[in-house]
Amino acid sequence: MVDQAEQLRNVIKLNPPPKPHARVITVTSGKGGVGKSNTSINLACQFRKLGKRVIILDADFGLANIEIMFGTVPKHNLCDLIYQGKNITDIITWGPMDIGFISGGSGIAGLSNLSSEYLNYIVRNLAKLDAIADIIIIDTGAGISDAVLDFLVASGEILVVATPEPTSITDSYSLLKALNRHPRFSREDSKIMVIANKVSDLTEGDTMYNKLETVANRYLKLPVSFLGSVPRDRHLEEAVMQQKPVSMQSPNAKSSVAYERIAYILMDKEYNKSLVKRGMAAFFSHIVAGNKKMG
């Protein structure tokens, strides 16, 4: 009997994703409430300003964060693609600034039980995202669950959001440790980047990053890089209340300017020298194949 992971590899071979591939950036954190969803949506706005086509996948299955911040309720989610035979284009909600949004639902958890016919369908559909987006941002749930780790090891770019509180630094380190231990994690294939959020000044952000980098290097031999700090900003809190990204509501607010800078760094050629864009189809096949192997 051909095992399912093998079947999946064949499916992918038969359906090579269209080129060029989208960049897949996965936003995560050791604990909740540190600003992942705000980071995702504001970077999306800033990438749009730079002319990039952006889709956000909300993979925080418990809480539908992004849709609240978008002020729109998506009609469908990833489950409908899988179980209702919807097309990928049917489940994208186009929000402000033409940012595409896909609600994950609880769609990914069920992937390990699907037949290769289904997988073929999903991979073909997800591959279409590579043609309609330059950048796909995945907003994950917090914490070190297997589902989140599966997403992270499949990502070329892992963006860890942390705050200067000692518990946040410890939790970020625990996340990196769990990631480093994951059987499918490869430090050559994934770039780990850090944002310090809710800082009171730049020094606080630098200090936080230095602490995290020191332990990641010393105990895990894991290279990380710093994207910069986002200040604690009253305008951001107000924007959240208005269900708007601060980058749109108050483009000159200090947090908006910080997101702009970070988006700029992420687009920098030199910064991206070693980056391998594998695209969305490869991203998902990595997750599905992994789930199958685990049984």
Ligand X SMILES: Nc1ncnc2c1ncn2[C@@H]1O[C@H](COP(=O)(O)OP(=O)(O)O)[C@@H](O)[C@H]1O
Q: Which stretch binds ligand X (CB under 6 A): 34-42, 78-86, 90-98, 200-208?
A: 34-42
Nearest CB to Mg ion, comparing residues 240 and 265: 240
Tell me how far apart the alpha carbons of residues 171 and 23 are, in angstroms, rounded to a whole number. Answer: 26
Shortest gap between Cβ of 161 and ligand X (angstroms)? Answer: 6
Among 21, 232, 278, 286, binds ligand X (CB under 6 A): 232
Give the 3-state secondary structure of residue 26. Answer: strand
Q: How many Å from the N-terminal Cα to the C-terminal Cα in the chain?
A: 15
Task: Tell me how far, at minimum, the Cβ of 253 lies from ligand X, in Å.
Answer: 10
Side chain identity at residue 86, one-letter code: K
Burial class (CB within 10 angstroms; exposed 0-12, middle 13-18, buried 19+) of 245: buried
Q: How far is the CB of 197 from ligand X (least distance, A)?
A: 5
- Least gap, CB of 101 to ligand X (angstroms): 15
Binding mask 76-115 for ligand X (x = CB under 6 A): ----------------------------------------
- Binding-residue pattern over the window 251 to 270 for ligand X, x denoting contact by CB under 6 A: ----x---------------
Given 106, 237, 268, 293, the residue binding ligand X (CB under 6 A): 237
Q: What is the rounded distance in angstroms from the CA atom of residue 167 to the CA atom of residue 250? A: 30
Site for Mg ion, residues 9 to 48, rule: CB under 5 A: 36-37
> Which residues share a beta bridge with 57?
102, 138
Alpha carbon of residue 216 to chain centroid: 21
Give the helix, strand, coil percentages of the chain, each rounded to 5: 50, 15, 35
Asked if residue 57 lies in contact with residue 139, where contact means CB atoms within 8 angstroms, the answer is: yes
| Interface with ligand X, residue 35, by CB under 6 A | yes
User: Which one, of 9, 59, 88, 3, lies nearest residue 285 by Cα?
Assistant: 9
Q: Does 32 bind ligand X (CB under 6 A)?
A: yes
**Residue span binding ligand X (CB under 6 A) among the ranges 27-35, 93-101, 112-120, 127-135:** 27-35
Q: Give the footprint of Mg ion on this chain (CB under 5 A).
A: 36-37, 65
